[in-house]
Amino acid sequence: MSSILVLPGDGIGPEIVDEALRVLTAAQKRFDLDIQLDHALVGGAAYDAEGDPLPESTLAKARAADAILFGSIGGPKWDNIERDKRPERGLLRLRSSLGLFANLRPAILFPQLAEASSLKPEVVSGLDILIVRELTGGIYFGQPRGIKEENGERVGFNTYVYSESEMKRIARVAFDLAMQRGKRVCSVDKANVLEVTELWKEVVTEEAKAYPEIELSHMYVDNAAMQLVRAPKQFDVIVTGNLFGDILSDEAAMLTGSIGMLPSASLDENRKGLYEPCHGSAPDIAGQGIANPLATIMSLAMLMRYSLQRDDVADAIEAAVEKVLDQGLRTGDIYTEGTRKVSTGEMGSAVAEAL
């Protein structure tokens, strides 16, 4: 038996997670899956109910589960509360407490949605990049940090820090994943300016020796931001730190034009993982039944693949998504003339049915 903790979160989170659960039910019927589901509060919803974006009870359940299906968090409602209580901090503490250091963010162009990209078709057709982002270290968690008073004025400061072992383990994840793909890894740093990334480059290079088949290259982050726009298909796997990964994975996702389609996985050493869509909580459209549930459904597929080791189920879910796209079903965010606009619920049902 496997246990999945469901954390719907805020904004459109609950709606899109509901559709993923509908697909899960269909998958349980078709496959031999023994899954126990549990639910808990996180983010703004948890703050409202218990004064904490990551209550102890939620964390305990998350620790106990084999995998976590996560919706999305945040919204203007919680913008002005005390820093440590904001929804985002709940997610950051969850990542860190569970040691979910490996964030996998695929940027894939669905041929059915090629038109949605702001890039020319020939630049992005067939795009399939995997960004591997370190998720529990770097400047996101570095100490010291804060805002202090110095010489009569305020000074803000954060610390960008990585140890060799943190760098090694994320490099290995990237190399292992690349071995199952195009065997090319591009490590992104700013080694010409930042010592921490100079060490990063060195450690990644050393680690690569254990992977003779991997073609490793290095790129400065400013150049990577350019190359993603110029010729994104040059990349197979990109590995980088927490902050650069945050920026580049969003840029890469947007190349596809359909951020409502992109899932992500955040894994620990034992492939226990948290799975969430790349997009945010979209408070402006929450509750209207128009959000795109496909990124969350694809996140469920990743959950099957990585944490439950059920490639067959993952493949089937992904195939079902392709099928409804082929049928011309589209939520508002990916709608184009000649296709059929459907609601969040209709899209979820269609995928469940296709399964």
Ligand X SMILES: CC(C)[C@H](C(=O)O)[C@@H](O)C(=O)O
What residues between 34 and 53 interact with its own copies by CB under 8 A? none
Is residue 156 involved in binding its own copies (CB under 8 A)?
Answer: yes
Q: Which does 33 bind (CB under 5 to 8 A by kind): ligand X, its own copies, none?
A: none
Give me the catalytic one of 190, 201, 272, 306: 190
Is 287 annotated as contributing to ligand binding?
yes
* 93 CB burial (10 A radius; 0-12, 13-18, 19+): middle
The arrangement of strands across the sheet holding 263-267 comes to 35-39, 2-9, 67-72, 273-277, 263-267, 102-108, 128-134, 237-240, 184-189, 215-220
Q: Which residues pair with 106 in a beta bridge?
A: 130
Is residue 334 involved in binding its own copies (CB under 8 A)?
Answer: no
Is 176 one of the catalytic residues? no
Is residue 82 involved in binding its own copies (CB under 8 A)?
Answer: no
CB atoms within 10 A of CB 217: 13
Smallest gap from residue 146 Cβ to its own copies (A): 5
Is 334 annotated as contributing to ligand binding?
no
Is 34 one of the catalytic residues? no
Smallest gap from residue 273 Cβ to ligand X (A): 14
Q: Compute CA 73 distance to the chain's CA centroid, rounded to the nearest angstrom.
A: 13
Is 128 one of the catalytic residues? no
Position among 49, 60, 210, 226 found at the interface with its own copies (CB under 8 A)? 226
Look at residue 131 and give its three-state secondary structure. Answer: strand
**What is the per-residue binding string for its own copies in 235-264, x denoting contact by CB under 8 A?**
--------xx-xxxxxx-xxx-x-x-----
Is 268 annotated as contributing to ligand binding?
no
Is 209 annotated as contributing to ligand binding?
no
Nearer to its own copies, 65 or 221 (CB): 221
Among candidates 354, 342, 346, which has minimal Cα distance to 317? 354
Is 140 one of the catalytic residues? yes
Is 53 annotated as contributing to ligand binding?
no
Is 246 one of the catalytic residues? yes
Among candidates 311, 309, 5, 252, which has minimal Cα distance to 133? 252
Is residue 335 involved in binding its own copies (CB under 8 A)?
Answer: no
For the chain, the residue count is: 355
| Tokens read off for 1 | 């038996």
Smallest gap from residue 281 Cβ to its own copies (A): 12
Q: Which does 162 bind (CB under 5 to 8 A by kind): ligand X, its own copies, none?
A: its own copies
CA torsion, ordered 220, 266, 104, 164, to nearest 10 deg: 40
Query: For residues 126-163, b (16+ Cβ closer than 10 Å) or e, as one string?
Result: ebebbbbbbbbbbbbbbeeeeeeeeeeeeeeeeebebe
User: Can you spell out the DSSP letters for 248-295?
Assistant: HHHHHHHHTT-GGG-EEEEE-TTS-EEEEESS---GGGTTSS-S--HH
Q: Where along the sequence are the contacts to ligand X (CB under 6 A)?
A: 88, 91-92, 192-193, 222, 246
Smallest gap from residue 119 Cβ to its own copies (A): 6
Nearer to its own copies, 1 or 154 (CB): 154
Position among 33, 35, 114, 123 found at the interface with its own copies (CB under 8 A)? 123
Position among 114, 160, 271, 323 found at the interface with its own copies (CB under 8 A)? 160
Q: Which residues contact residue 106 at a Cβ distance below 8 angstroms, ignoring those fewer than 6 apart?
A: 128, 129, 130, 131, 262, 263, 264
Site residues, its own copies (CB under 8 A): 74, 83, 86, 88, 92, 118-120, 123, 139-140, 142, 145-147, 150-151, 153-165, 190, 192-200, 203, 221-223, 225-231, 243-244, 246-251, 253-255, 257, 259
Q: Binding-site residues for substrate, please?
A: 95, 105, 133, 222
**Active-site residue list:** 140, 190, 222, 246, 250
